[in-house]
Amino acid sequence: MADHQHISSAFDRDLEAIQALIMKMGGMVEANIQNAATSLVERDEALAEKVRAADKQIDALEERVNTEAARLIALRSPTAGDLRTVLSVMKISANLERCGDYAKNLAKRTAVLVQLQQVEGTSNSIRRMAREVELMLKDALDAYLHRDAEKAEDVRQRDLEVDQMYNALFREFLTFMMEDPRNITACMHLHFIAKNIERMGDHVTSIAEQVIYLVTGQMPDEARPKVDSTVASALKEGDA
Half-sphere exposure of 159 (CA within 13 A, CB side): 25
Q: Which of 108, 107, 225, 240 is nearest to 164 (CA)?
A: 225
Contact (CB, 8 A) for 27 and 98:
no
Q: Indicate the pLDDT class of residue 235, thresholds 50, 70 and 90.
A: very low
- Does residue 58 lie in a domain region? yes
| Amino acid (1-letter code) at residue 59 | D
Q: Indicate the pLDDT class of residue 222, thresholds 50, 70 and 90.
A: low
pLDDT at residue 229 in the model:
52
Q: Which of 72, 51, 57, 69 is nearest to 25 (CA)?
A: 57
Percent of the chain with pLDDT over 70: 89
Q: Indicate the pLDDT class of residue 63, thresholds 50, 70 and 90.
A: very high
Contact (CB, 8 A) for 141 and 93:
no
pLDDT at residue 32 in the model:
96
Q: Which residues, at least 6 apart from 187, have a Cβ–Cβ distance to it below 8 Å? A: 119, 122, 173, 176, 177
CA distance 67 to 8: 20
Length of the chain, please? Answer: 240
CA distance 226 to 155: 13
Q: Which of 95, 90, 99 is nearest to 15 (CA)?
A: 90
Q: Which of 190, 43, 202 is nearest to 126 (CA)?
A: 190
pLDDT at residue 164 in the model:
96
Q: Indicate the pLDDT class of residue 209, thresholds 50, 70 and 90.
A: very high
CATH code for the domain in which residue 87 is found: 1.20.58.220
Q: Which of 197, 189, 135 is nearest to 162 (CA)?
A: 197
The distance in angstroms from the start CA to the end CA of the chain is 69
Least confident of 128-132, 170-174, 226-230: 226-230
Contact (CB, 8 A) for 93 and 63:
no
- Does residue 237 lie in a domain region? no
- Does residue 98 lie in a domain region? yes
Mean pLDDT for 103-128 is 89
- Does residue 23 lie in a domain region? yes
**Residue 115 pLDDT > 50:** yes
Structural domain boundaries, residue 181:
2-231
List pLDDT tens digits, range 122-155. 888 999 999 999 999 999 999 999 999 999 999 9
pLDDT at residue 81 in the model:
82
- Does residue 236 lie in a domain region? no
pLDDT at residue 224 in the model:
62
- Does residue 194 lie in a domain region? yes
Helix pair angle (122-146, 184-216), 10° resolution: 10
| Residue 113 neighbours by CB distance under 10 Å | 21
Q: Is 83 exposed, middle or buried (0-12, 13-18, 19+ CB in 10 A)?
A: middle
Half-sphere exposure of 22 (CA within 13 A, CB side): 29
- Does residue 155 lie in a domain region? yes
Least confident of 33-47, 81-95, 182-196, 210-224: 210-224
How many structural domains comprise the chain? 1
Mean pLDDT for 51-58 is 96
Q: Identify which has the larger pLDDT, 239 or 181.
A: 181
- Does residue 86 lie in a domain region? yes
Contact (CB, 8 A) for 131 and 75:
no
